[in-house]
Amino acid sequence: MSTVTVVTRTQWYAKSSKEDAKYMTMPVSHVFIHHTDMNECVSQTECAIEMRKIQHLHQDINGWADIAYNFVIGQDGGVYIGRGWDRVGAHTLGWNNVSISFAFMGNFTDKLPTDDALKALEEALVLGVKLGKLTPDFKLHGHRDARPSMDSPGQKLYDRIRKHKHYEPIGPNIVTVSPKSPV
């Protein structure tokens, strides 16, 4: 049984989406990891406030339909529902309708998320496979794999996820060496 703590949109007092949801075909085989580059939070109360700040930025400032991410992970180990498993996000240009995104609240350029937050990601990934939302052989990517100009998910977190068993580089960061090429 999963021990992941999922915090619903009702629990973090989400505003309604600005438009009808678009849905993905499940399961998907790609997961993107981001960081919010905003404040960290260590309790559900603090994280709910941060979620509302992120939603305000994404909806009211950026003009998007809703919070960009499918899920956001707090340093408290909570997995906060953004768009959820099935809704198309606005997190990784060119990949939104075929991937799930998890963003860690905070900036992880110089440090890692808490052990509770990292464990929450692992448990959420296992849950996604069990629910049929992620393929068992899903590929894990950092946001910068698809968008090299971005710092997300922060260097320390990116270094960590590149060691994950499901990590796979994509796009311009892939270096292909043919068998006949000298190395």
- Is residue 182 one of the residues assigned to a domain? no
pLDDT at 149: 81
Q: Around Cβ 70, how many Cβ atoms within 10 Å?
A: 29
Q: Is residue 181 part of a domain?
A: no
What is the C-alpha separation between 114 and 47, in angstroms, rounded? 14
Global confidence as pTM: 0.91
**What are the angstrom distances between the C-alpha of 116 and each of 26, 112, 121?**
28, 11, 9
Question: Strand 78-81 vs strand 5-7: parallel, antiparallel, or unpaired?
Answer: parallel
At 171 the pLDDT is 61
Task: Give the CATH number for residue 120.
Answer: 3.40.80.10
Residue 76 placed within a domain: yes
Q: Is position 123 within any domain?
A: yes
Asked if residue 112 is part of any domain, the answer here is yes
Number of domains present in the structure of the chain: 1
* In-domain check, residue 113: yes
Q: Is residue 28 one of the residues assigned to a domain?
A: yes
What pLDDT does 19 receive?
A: 87
Structural domain range at position 12? 5-173
Residue-level pLDDT, tens digit, the chain, 183 residues: 568 999 999 999 999 999 888 999 999 999 999 999 999 999 999 999 999 999 999 999 999 999 999 999 999 999 999 999 999 999 999 999 999 999 999 999 999 999 999 999 999 999 999 999 999 999 999 999 998 888 999 999 999 999 999 999 986 444 333 333 232
User: What are the CA-CA distances from residue 19 to residues 41, 63, 67, 180 (Å)?
Assistant: 29, 11, 12, 52
